[in-house]
Structure 1
Amino acid sequence: MRKLLVLFNLLLFVNFSGNCQTKNLKPKEIVQSEFGNILDSLKVKGSILIYDVKNKTYYSNDFEWAKTGIIPASTFKIPNSIIALESGIIKNDATIFKWNGEKRKFKKWEEDLTFKKAFQVSCVPCYQEIAGKVGVKRMKSYLKKLNYNGMVFDSLTIDNFWLEGKSTFSQMHQIEFLERLYFSQLPISKRTEKIMKDIMQLEKTENYVLSGKAGWGMRNEINNGWLVGYIETNNSVYFFATNVEKQETNMEEFPIIRLNSTKEALKKLKLIK
């Protein structure tokens, strides 16, 4: 009887140890040269990074690029929106930003915008208003709470530190943050989480739902573009962070390049058709 008990405990220990090791396994990194071919065909340089949660596997054409900190540009509107909602500066997704009639960089910003619309058209003046109201001390406190590191700012740069300056966030960090948001691992309310998941939705089909946020900044005087987010399929969720550079471009072409390159990479992995 004692031998059976010892054997049973041993089997339990082995099973428990195996499960722990599986949970703590470092994700695999697989170089996907096809992603590089996609970027070459679009005449841009950069990295496409996709994370398969179920199989704990990263795919990218350039992992060195994917691990390099780059200014987050308007992808920072994700944590900025969370902070706006959690602090009460923004009441809900229908909160209105009043346009004061001044000329803005884009025509789509020259109107009264709901919070949801301001996020989706990436209204920089709207989010500069939010950051100013949050203030330096509260912004730093919330970013620490969210474990969103790498932002460098003070009272002089509180309204533009995500667009220019020394703030950096890598593609790997983007995915890690989005994964925590998606799986309810951020220290935020369910209400804020629900609003964020709603305003981030980009495309919905019978086979998948695509959510995310684009960004545009400058890196070494070269146009640098982001598209970060996740795609929900029938049986899983995959996270992505695309970062590309192009020396000469225009405001209409660059957003299309970011989206098309990401979707082509998702097709290569047979996640969408």
Structure 2
Amino acid sequence: MKILNIILTVGILISCHQKNNTKEILKSEFQSIINSNHVEGSILIYDAQKDVFYSNNFDWAKTGRLPASTYKIPHSIIALETKVVENDSTLFKWNGEKRAYKIWEQDLMLRDAFQYSCVPCYQEIANKIGEKRMNEYLKKLQFGEMNVTSKNLDVFWLEGTSKINQFQQIDFLKRLVNSELKISKRTEEILKRISFIEDNKKYKLYGKTGLSIRNGNYNGWFVGYVETKNNTYFFATNIEPNENTNKELFPKLRKELTLKALEFIK
């Protein structure tokens, strides 16, 4: 028994030591990208092979914010695991009512609802999942600090006190990619398909954007990962406009800034 305890203790110490050895490197290039695009915020990138985090602003990256549509990643997982949604071809019928965006005014399959960030589609999913199961799965998945009640079930990721920071976003994505979420392989494969963005000679890109607007203030996300031949890089970008930002172009900047930053570490 003594020997077993010693082995367990050593294992724990090694695990803690490895975690504490994760480096955080400040990248002035990331700040230049942020400044030149007239926004505020942080780009956080994790090199899985080197076990290194890169950012221009680690304080910003450690501050929790509403997940907005980045929540569609765990939301889709919960929908599939509870069988509320059968697969990525499950159809969400448009009821004919006017919606915030024209692209939402049509019947959409899950993969399109995910890519187009169809809020009404995912509100329908949330109501079918219910408060109890949503909280049970969120506890299991450990996605930030979500505050889910019967009153905010279909909006908690868009307004209120729910929050997640950039480090937590990357931690969640790492556990998803490394099959550590204790979900079915089928669900993992579906998530990979619906979050796929592009494949070029350099990498395969997977991710999800998010945008919350509170009292006229914008906050934008782009989270995901890129797979290269020899490595995987995880990213979580969170930005806000300043007085010089063109708000019409702001949604595009989340992805553009992230891809520019990745060029400085690959």
- Scaled by the length of structure 1, the TM-score of the pair is 0.89
Q: CA–CA distance in 1 between the matches of 2:128 and 2:13? A: 49
Q: CA–CA distance in 2 between the matches of 1:156 and 1:18? A: 44
Deviation at 1:203, TM superposition (A): 1.1
Q: CA–CA distance in 2 between the matches of 1:24 and 1:70? A: 24
Cα-to-partner distance string for 1:79-107 (whole Å, 9 max, x where unaligned): 00000000000000000000011111111
Aligned length: 256
Q: Which amino acid aligns with 1:243?
A: N
When structure 1 is superposed on structure 2, of 154-163 and 17-26 the one drifting more is: 17-26
Deviation at 1:253, TM superposition (A): 1.4
Deviation at 1:255, TM superposition (A): 2.2
Is 1:215 the counterpart of 2:223? The answer is no
- Aligned sequence identity (%): 54
Is 1:266 the counterpart of 2:262? The answer is yes
From 188, 191, 201, the equivalent of 2:186 is 191
Residue 54 of structure 1 corresponds to which residue in structure 2?
49
Cα-to-partner distance string for 1:201-223 (whole Å, 9 max, x where unaligned): 11111220010000001357421
Residue 135 of structure 2 corresponds to which residue in structure 1?
140
Structure 2: 5+ residue stretches without partners = 1-10
Residue 251 of structure 2 corresponds to which residue in structure 1?
255
Q: CA–CA distance in 1 between the matches of 2:137 and 2:109? A: 23
From 61, 68, 90, the equivalent of 1:73 is 68
Deviation at 1:148, TM superposition (A): 1.8
Deviation at 1:176, TM superposition (A): 0.2
From 160, 169, 174, the equivalent of 2:164 is 169
> Of the two, which has the highest radius of gyration?
1
Residue 124 of structure 2 corresponds to which residue in structure 1?
129
Q: CA–CA distance in 1 between the matches of 2:12 and 2:71? A: 39
Report if the CA contact (8 A) 1:222-1:247 is conserved: no
Deviation at 1:254, TM superposition (A): 1.9
